Amino acid sequence: MHVVKVRLIVPLLLVVGLSLVSGCTDYKKKYDYLNVEHQNLKGRFENLQNEKQQLAQRISQDQRTIDELRRQIEELNQTPAEATGFGEGYDVAFDAAAGTITVTLPNTILFESGKAELKSATSAELDHILSVLKSKYAGKAIDVVGHTDTDPIKKSPWKDNWELSAQRALSVTRYLMNQGIPASEIRAAGCGPARPIAPNTTVAGKAKNRRVEIVVSMR
């Protein structure tokens, strides 16, 4: 009887022992896995903290720039064109609340009537704007926005004014990109006749509405 019990107990002990060893191995694997996950999460948290700090610094710097531009315009009586660095002769608007600088170019400078290709391979006006963007506003988001008057499209490949305004915005955008503005910092949009700045009831008003705006976001 005792011999039988011993024979039963020995295999049982072996099974228990093997289970304990296997359990220890599983726990070690789980510990190692969780430790790696902890280190990964810790690294991500530290990266997020650094990004948060950098973002806060950038926001603070952007606001200081906006405040300085506003001071130059309001206290030093500079024009928006002077204060922003684009210079006299350019139609520049500064919106401190929105944190934007808008340079407006009439279509007569850039395009023939009803066309979306730039008049020439180079543009003195666009090249000047480009130099200011690179020297003073590098890294800022830029929107190129095309606008038209309300006259219907005639004898043109464009379906309507919306398509024409978008294609003109694209032409200016591609020009700036080809001259070094990163694609990640610029986008094009067409507004057609939807955002007039003058009445479309006169020739002069329609001429003002046919324009391309280059909008720099300071924030």
Q: Does residue 161 sit in the same domain as residue 120?
A: yes
> Which of residues 36 and 153 earns the better pLDDT score?
153
> Which of residues 101 and 42 earns the better pLDDT score?
101
Q: Does residue 195 sit in the same domain as residue 124?
A: yes
Q: What is the pLDDT of residue 38?
A: 79
The band of 4, judged by pLDDT with boundaries at 50, 70 and 90, is very low
Which domain covers residue 10, as residue numbers? 1-77
Q: Does residue 44 sit in the same domain as residue 139?
A: no
Whether 10 shows a pLDDT value over 70: the answer reads no
Helix, strand or coil for residue 95?
A: strand
Q: Does residue 209 sit in the same domain as residue 163?
A: yes
158-190 pLDDT, tens digit per residue, is: 999 999 999 999 999 999 999 999 999 999 999
Q: Does residue 71 sit in the same domain as residue 98?
A: no
User: Which two structure tokens, joined as six digits, stand for 89?
Assistant: 């002769």
Q: What is the pLDDT of residue 11?
A: 58
Q: What is the pLDDT of residue 110?
A: 94
Domain boundary among 77, 101, 126: 77
Q: What is the pLDDT of residue 200?
A: 96
Q: Does residue 135 sit in the same domain as residue 185?
A: yes
Q: Does residue 73 sit in the same domain as residue 125?
A: no
% of residues, the chain, pLDDT over 70: 88
Where residue 164 sits, what CATH number does that domain have? 3.30.1330.60
User: Whose structure tokens read 């808008």?
Assistant: 102
Domain boundary among 77, 102, 132: 77
Mean pLDDT (whole number) for 67-76: 90
Domain boundary among 45, 77, 109: 77
Q: How many domains does one find in the chain?
A: 2
Q: Which of 20, 98, 21, 15 is nearest to 63 (CA)?
A: 98
Whether 96 shows a pLDDT value over 90: the answer reads yes
Q: Does residue 97 sit in the same domain as residue 29?
A: no
Q: Compute the radius of gyration of the chain from its Cα atoms.
A: 33
Burial 93-125 (b: 16+ CB within 10 A, else e): ebeeeebbbbbbbebeebbeeebbebeeeebee
Distance, CA of 67 to CA of 42 (rounded, Å): 38
